[in-house]
Chain A
Amino acid sequence: MQDQARLAELRQKFGREPAAPTEPRPGERTPREAQPRFRGLESGHRACQGCGEALAARLVMESAGPDVMVANATGCLEVFTTPWPQSAWRVPWIHSLFENSAAVASGMEAAMKAKGKNTKVLAFGGDGGTYDIGFQALSGMLERYHNILYVCYDNEAYMNTGIQRSSSTPHAATTTTSPAGKERMGKRHLKKDLLSIIAAHHIPYAASASVAYPQDLQRKVRYAMGIDGPTFLVVHSPCPLGWRHASALTIEVARKAVECGLFPLVELERGAVTNIMPIRQVRPVTDYLKLQGRFAHLTRDGDPRAQEERDHLQALADYNIQVFGLAGDGDDPADTAGVTTVGRGGPLAGRAS
């Protein structure tokens, strides 16, 4: 009853009265097909089934719109979208090198300024190209205050070269260069807290997002697009091949990463946290770990080292929940997994704390 009352309250406030789904008549376009949606990244590219990065890039491009140009770092996204002479991009797009997408974008933005054009420049990189090898160029771009939205598609390892560890790989995850064995339990080091480093640049806007929450992701892109200055978005993008989960589980895995606190969804303005997505039902990290082969060594029974690492990861998640105040107020009828995710991270999210 309480739930029904809350729903009624929400419907009145936001005016969302769900209409009964109707089947389209023959020859009629479905609402989805009829939706005027800009597709910057077309289908038909060569990403793996269930690729989180491909989904994230499509969502980003939809919200960024047609008057953009993209500088793309070397990586899966570059390779699977542009095997010459094919290209899946419907916007001007350039790939130069692994570590310079932020700098190439800086030049493109300078050119737009010199020519008096308003075309927004986007820079894309994976976690390798952002957390590691392209880190310096990114810092320079933010410091020089270029009008660029930088999007990092974070799949937590060098997937394009065959799943090698990066500074974004979570603690204890196995990769081909951080395997588990008699002497090792996967990656020995922590995932780099990139967002804090970005925050230290005091740029207008920085945020984390997840492919499991597309509306939230797109809202963040639209918000960043409206800012004349450097903005940064890191999108948690599962890689079924590298994380070793079924390709149908991409969204579920991404969602569990948020729900357990290991990948907090936060927004920062000028370096200060201004919004978070609350977790209504905080899950134990094991719910997230057990879906993925990269953590299989942590879910072995009777291995004290596995228990120790699980505790370690739980402590990291607990820390995130504490510092960002992520713990919500329990079950929410408008926010149940498997139903619509509309409202997450929107005005509703801000009311939770």
Chain B
Amino acid sequence: MRDALEGSQAIARAVSLCKPDVVAAYPITPQTHIVENLSKLVAEGDLHTEFVSVESEFSAASVVLGAAAAGARAYTATASQGVLLMAEVLFNIAGMRIPLVMTVANRAVSAPLSIWNDHGDSMAVRDSGWIQLHAADNQEAVDTTIQAFRITQETELPVMVCMDGFILTHTMEVIDLPDQATVDAFLPPFEFARKLDPQDPKSLGTLVDPGFFAEVRHSHHAAMAKALSVIADTDSAWESATGRACGGLLTVEGDKDAAVGIVAMGSTTGTLRAGMAHHPDAGPARLIKLRSFRPFPAQALIEATDGLDHLIVIDRAISPGLGGILGTEIAAALADVPNAPKIHNHALGLGGRDIPETIYADLMAAVTDPDAPLVFDADMAKLAPEDR
């Protein structure tokens, strides 16, 4: 059913369609509207779930861990400081291979304090072993959330659905919400083979000595590699069920014969698409929308960038002392590719800095500028000379 919904409201409705047994959350901007809407669905009797309003994000993550381990479909949502407060639990959830879904309403990490969007939060836990999928718009966020519940069951890997805070969470647009029967047919009942069960007692989370730790990490890494096809197949299955796809691991659009490519994640891709349409003088580009950041689809990226001379990689976070995170990873992925494109890595939109459509022309022009800065939209005039 098509309806005008705020992003957060749409996510709450999508989660509700997946019938979670347990939802635990702690409020943080810009995630709040998601949990408020879920609370309302519970209060009105439209969603039958154990809604646990916890005293911190640390406990939110711990509650969904315990719930999923006990055999319940579980969901939580957070952002920014919440992601970092959860960090220890996030690694633990993934290491124990507990299936659950979390929305991250991406927001910058303090200091300086900022409630606005960038990807610093989810990037900070990129090595936690979670699947990280980025939604480019609210329809994708809805569809990816529903897919995430199926992916997590199939892979026993927790799934983080990343959506840009405010830019998506607080934007109202027309959303096509699937009906309950479609979701029920798409999403099998929740089953967790290792669940805590008095009829078949198991010990989870035991101490592992050096004789087995490496094997656990290897199998986790191998499971992530296998998840690549699960993510792609699940999106295909969703397309069969609803006629809509989110782009699997990544999608290629724009001018496929262009010499310049641009890779971005999240809502930036929409801005670049509009910029390309409205600034034809800047030249054509092949636009690569990366949906799966973890597992990292190296082979798909190699194929998507084939034939390019230049590849602009947009990061919405930086690793101080290194540079762009996505840029560095793509450079590594293309390291052994003959005639690989030259990579131009820029960080944009940090801490909610608006990314205008005109950025497309600026980025295209910077391909020939060897001195283009990493933090592309930083205004040096605002800084003292010694800080530039």
Tell me the A residues contacting B by CB distance below 8 Å. 66-69, 71, 78-79, 82-85, 87, 89-97, 99-100, 102-115, 119, 136-137, 139-140, 143-144
User: Does B50 interact with chain A (Cβ within 8 Å)?
Assistant: yes
Point out the residues of chain A lying under 8 angstroms from B21, CB to CB: 110-111, 114-115
Known: A96-B62, A107-B24, A114-B21. A87 touches B206 (CB 8 A): yes
B62:A111 contact, CB within 8 angstroms: no
A107:B203 contact, CB within 8 angstroms: no
Point out the residues of chain B lying under 8 angstroms from A66, CB to CB: 198
A68:B198 contact, CB within 8 angstroms: yes
* Additional 13 contacts, C-beta under 8 A, given A82-B205, A95-B205, A96-B65: A67-B198, A68-B198, A82-B203, A89-B203, A96-B96, A100-B59, A109-B66, A111-B22, A114-B21, A114-B67, A115-B71, A119-B198, A143-B55
Pick out which of these stretches binds chain A: B207-215, B260-268, B373-381. Answer: B207-215
Residue on A nearest B48 in the bound complex, by CB: A114
Residue on A nearest B96 in the bound complex, by CB: A96
A89:B59 contact, CB within 8 angstroms: no
Q: In the complex, how many angstroms separate the beta carbon of A300 from the nearest chain B beta carbon? A: 40
Distance A144 CA – B67 CA, assembled complex (angstroms) = 15
B203:A87 contact, CB within 8 angstroms: yes
Distance A220 CA – B90 CA, assembled complex (angstroms) = 36
A69:B198 contact, CB within 8 angstroms: yes
User: Does B202 interact with chain A (Cβ within 8 Å)?
Assistant: yes
Residue on B nearest A123 in the bound complex, by CB: B66
Distance A207 CA – B56 CA, assembled complex (angstroms) = 27
What is the total of A-B residue contacts with beta carbons within 8 Å?
156
Residue on A nearest B195 in the bound complex, by CB: A92
Distance A140 CA – B26 CA, assembled complex (angstroms) = 12
Distance A107 CA – B24 CA, assembled complex (angstroms) = 8
Known: A136-B56, A139-B55. A107 touches B62 (CB 8 A): yes
B207:A84 contact, CB within 8 angstroms: yes
B66:A103 contact, CB within 8 angstroms: yes
Known: A68-B198, A115-B72. A104 touches B62 (CB 8 A): yes
Point out the residues of chain A lying under 8 angstroms from B89, CB to CB: 96-97, 100
Q: In the complex, how many angstroms separate the beta carbon of A341 from the nearest chain B beta carbon? A: 31
Point out the residues of chain B lying under 8 angstroms from A89, CB to CB: 201, 203
What are 27 A-to-B residue pairs whose CB atoms are below 8 Å?
A: A67-B198, A68-B198, A82-B206, A89-B203, A91-B201, A93-B196, A93-B204, A94-B66, A95-B205, A97-B62, A100-B65, A103-B62, A106-B54, A107-B64, A107-B72, A108-B67, A110-B22, A110-B50, A110-B66, A111-B68, A114-B72, A115-B21, A119-B198, A136-B58, A137-B62, A140-B54, A144-B53
Distance A233 CA – B363 CA, assembled complex (angstroms) = 63
Q: In the complex, how many angstroms separate the beta carbon of B40 from the nearest chain A beta carbon? A: 19
0/1 interface trace, chain B 176-213, chain A, CB 8 Å (1 if under):
00000000000000000000111001111111110010
User: Does B358 interact with chain A (Cβ within 8 Å)?
Assistant: no
B22:A83 contact, CB within 8 angstroms: no
Residue on A nearest B213 in the bound complex, by CB: A84
Distance A79 CA – B74 CA, assembled complex (angstroms) = 28
- The 8 Å CB contact of B63, one of A93, A95, A110, A143, is A110
Distance A226 CA – B58 CA, assembled complex (angstroms) = 30
Q: In the complex, how many angstroms separate the beta carbon of A93 from the nearest chain B beta carbon? A: 5
A111:B198 contact, CB within 8 angstroms: no
B55:A84 contact, CB within 8 angstroms: no
Known: A84-B206, A105-B66, A114-B72. A140 touches B55 (CB 8 A): yes
User: Does B92 interact with chain A (Cβ within 8 Å)?
Assistant: yes
Q: In the complex, how many angstroms separate the beta carbon of A35 from the nearest chain B beta carbon? A: 22
Distance A99 CA – B212 CA, assembled complex (angstroms) = 25
A95:B204 contact, CB within 8 angstroms: yes
User: Does B255 interact with chain A (Cβ within 8 Å)?
Assistant: no
Distance A325 CA – B147 CA, assembled complex (angstroms) = 62
Distance A110 CA – B198 CA, assembled complex (angstroms) = 16
Residue on A nearest B55 in the bound complex, by CB: A140
User: Does B174 interact with chain A (Cβ within 8 Å)?
Assistant: no
B59:A108 contact, CB within 8 angstroms: no
Point out the residues of chain A lying under 8 angstroms from B203, CB to CB: 82, 87, 89, 92-95
Distance A34 CA – B92 CA, assembled complex (angstroms) = 42
Point out the residues of chain B lying under 8 angstroms from A96, CB to CB: 62, 65-66, 89, 92, 96, 205
B207:A82 contact, CB within 8 angstroms: yes
Distance A126 CA – B205 CA, assembled complex (angstroms) = 17
Point out the residues of chain A lying under 8 angstroms from B201, CB to CB: 89-93
User: Does B49 interact with chain A (Cβ within 8 Å)?
Assistant: yes
Point out the residues of chain A lying under 8 angstroms from B24, CB to CB: 106-107, 110
Point out the residues of chain A lying under 8 angstroms from B56, CB to CB: 136-137, 140
Q: In the complex, how many angstroms separate the beta carbon of A180 from the nearest chain B beta carbon? A: 33
Distance A143 CA – B67 CA, assembled complex (angstroms) = 18
Residue on B nearest A71 in the bound complex, by CB: B66
Point out the residues of chain B lying under 8 angstroms from A84, CB to CB: 206-209, 212
User: Does B337 interact with chain A (Cβ within 8 Å)?
Assistant: no
Distance A100 CA – B56 CA, assembled complex (angstroms) = 11
Residue on B nearest A67 in the bound complex, by CB: B198
Point out the residues of chain B lying under 8 angstroms from A140, CB to CB: 54-56, 59
Distance A27 CA – B92 CA, assembled complex (angstroms) = 50
User: Does B88 interact with chain A (Cβ within 8 Å)?
Assistant: yes
Interface centre among A90, A104, A112 (most CB of B within 10 A): A104
User: Does B52 interact with chain A (Cβ within 8 Å)?
Assistant: yes
Distance A119 CA – B68 CA, assembled complex (angstroms) = 15
Distance A84 CA – B203 CA, assembled complex (angstroms) = 9
Interface centre among A78, A85, A111 (most CB of B within 10 A): A111
B206:A83 contact, CB within 8 angstroms: yes
Residue on B nearest A79 in the bound complex, by CB: B207
User: Does B136 interact with chain A (Cβ within 8 Å)?
Assistant: no
Point out the residues of chain A lying under 8 angstroms from B53, CB to CB: 144
Point out the residues of chain B lying under 8 angstroms from A112, CB to CB: 70
Q: In the complex, how many angstroms separate the beta carbon of A331 from the nearest chain B beta carbon? A: 46
Interface centre among B21, B64, B72, B203 (most CB of A within 10 A): B203
